[in-house]
Each structure stands twice: as C-alpha cells, then as structure tokens.
Amino acid sequence: VRSLARVGILGGTGALGRGLALRWAMASVDVRLGSRDAHRAEDAAARLRERLQDRPGVGAISGGTNRAVAASEPTLVLAVPLAGLEASLAEFGDVLHGRTVVCAVNPLAFDTAGPLLAPVPTSSAPTSSTPMSSVAETVAAALPETTVVAALHTVSSHELAALGRPMDDDVPVVGDDIDACAEVAALVDRIEGCRGVVVGALRLAVGLEALTPVLIAVNQRASAHVGVRFSRLPTATDTTSDG
C-alpha cells in the first residue's frame, strides 16, 4: 500500500476539515484545504498553522479554491454538508476525474425526537436489492471517472480539535476499489489513535452513514463525543502469530 503524504479536503474550512487537517499535519501529512472562497481557505489554513507552530515535523497546511485543490491533489476528502453536495459537484466535479474521493458526508436531519437519517436525493428509485441509497453511492454515480471511497463519518470534529489527547477511533472504510480502500485506511492510520478498517463494498456505505444519528443520540444522552470501535478485531500481527 502506498503511504499517502498529502491530501486535499473539499469543504475543508468546516469543523471536520479543520480537525482532520490538524491531525494529519501533526502526522507530517501535507494538507490543502478547499473552499468556495480562496481567501477563506487561506485564512483557515493560516490559523491552523499557527496552532501547530511549536510542534516539530508538521506537514504543510495550505488553502485554495475547491477547484484548485481538486486539481492538485490525487486524494481528496469530501467534507461539504449534504445540502451543498449538488452545488459542490457542479462546482468541481469535472476536476475529480482520476482522483480518489473519500466521502465523509452524513445524511443527517433533526426533528423534535432528535437526530435521524435524512433521505438521500437520488436519480433512480430504490429497488428491492438496494432499498436505500447512500450519499457515497450517489457521488459515485455522479462521478463515474472518480474512485469513491466512504469513510470518516463517525470521527468527532470536537475530538479531532482537542490536540491534547489522541483519538480513540476505528474508522470503517468502504469502497469498490480495494487498493484505494487500503490507501485511505493507511492515511487514517497516520492519525494517532485512529485505525482504518477496510470493511468492503461501497454499497455498505449506507450502514456507515446511518451510524452518525445513533452516535449523536448517544452524545446527547451522555454529554459525550463518542466514536466507534470494533471489538475483537484481530490485528495483522495477531493473524500471523495465530497461524
């Protein structure tokens, strides 16, 4: 697996993008934040660099328009809100040909009973074999020349920004390109306390997207910022030593 030393974040000025940028830069990964407005991205990047200024060996953090970032980076996290997805794909989708895009978009809604899974706008009606579609599959259908992976739905931006403590998260990764999944999992592994877990095909993205309202409901009841862990998952070392 190629170890990625750079990543772009589309919608990178938001809470998730800024948190990931801090953690990846701390792991010597170069990060480019994208925005609809180049100045907003440059400002956000400057503030993050300032937060890391006393740390040795940090990666570079820069900013630009989403289009410029998509054009310069082979691997990109898609971190825009669902409400902005269509406009975002219209803004920079054509520049994503040949790229790997990690979709972190959660289809989330709230009503008086709390958080719930929002319906995903889709061009085709659900069928019995695919009763629900995910944001990630919608993105993959819209971008046939792009490798789409889905991951990072359950990491808390609050925890990412709390640099005093390592993360404590498994990060399930799904996608139809196994090499791309492995690369993304390795990129996740670079964040201290995060473990990328390759799960399987992109059609399982609906399960990952559906975890977020569950976690938010737990957070609301427990005043916490929980993440997920897969218990009893053997590590590569366990597998070889057990035969």
Residues that bind ligand NAP (CB under 6 A): 11, 13-17, 35-37, 40, 79-84, 87-88, 104-106, 108, 152-153, 155-157
CB of 159 to ligand NAP, least distance (A): 8
- Which backbone phi and psi does 6 adopt, to 5 degrees? -150, 150
Per the CB < 8 A criterion, the answer to whether 70 and 8 are in contact is yes
CB of 20 to ligand NAP, least distance (A): 9
In this complex, which beta carbon is closest to ligand NAP, that of residue 211 or of residue 236? 211
CA dihedral 140, 133, 77, 36 (to 10 degrees): 90
**Which residues 6+ apart lie within 8 Å of 96 measured at CB?**
70, 76, 143, 145, 146
Query: Could you give the angle at the alpha carbon of 134 between the alpha carbons of 130 and 135, nearest 5°?
Result: 150
In this complex, which beta carbon is closest to ligand NAP, that of residue 80 or of residue 120? 80
Tokens 């994503």 belong to which residue? 96
**Which residues 6+ apart lie within 8 Å of 72 measured at CB?**
8, 32, 64
In this complex, which beta carbon is closest to ligand NAP, that of residue 169 or of residue 183? 169
Per the CB < 8 A criterion, the answer to whether 76 and 8 are in contact is yes
Q: For 27-42, give the DSSP string.
A: TT-EEEEEESSHHHHH
In this complex, which beta carbon is closest to ligand NAP, that of residue 62 or of residue 88? 88
CB of 202 to ligand NAP, least distance (A): 17
Q: How many CB atoms lie within 10 A of CB 33?
A: 29
CB of 59 to ligand NAP, least distance (A): 20
- Which backbone phi and psi does 198 adopt, to 5 degrees? -70, 125
CB of 107 to ligand NAP, least distance (A): 8
In this complex, which beta carbon is closest to ligand NAP, that of residue 37 or of residue 179? 37
CB of 141 to ligand NAP, least distance (A): 18
In this complex, which beta carbon is closest to ligand NAP, that of residue 48 or of residue 238? 48
